[in-house]
Amino acid sequence: MTRKAGIEKTYVRMKGRWMYLYRAVDSRGQTIDFLLSARRDAEAAKRLFRKALGQPHTVTHAPS
């Protein structure tokens, strides 16, 4: 069975510092895994997504 999943990126303030928050989410919006980074890091986000998804998924990405 293939489930839809996606990755969300947002900018959040943590302990006074602005950080990028990447979330791998399933089709119900539940967080599968997340990554907090001081810089925009597309490669790290891709690694997070590959690690978080152990089963086949349809990947969607909303442009920011």
Per-domain boundaries in the chain: 3-53
CA atoms within 13 A on the CB side of 52: 22
Q: Give the residues across from 8 on adjacent strands.
A: 23
Predicted confidence (pLDDT) per residue in 2-58, tens digit: 566 677 889 999 999 999 998 888 778 888 888 888 888 778 777 777 777 665 555
pLDDT at residue 62 greater than cutoff 50: yes
Q: Return the number of other C-beta atoms located less than 10 Å from residue 7's C-beta.
A: 22
Distance CA 16, CA 45 (A): 23
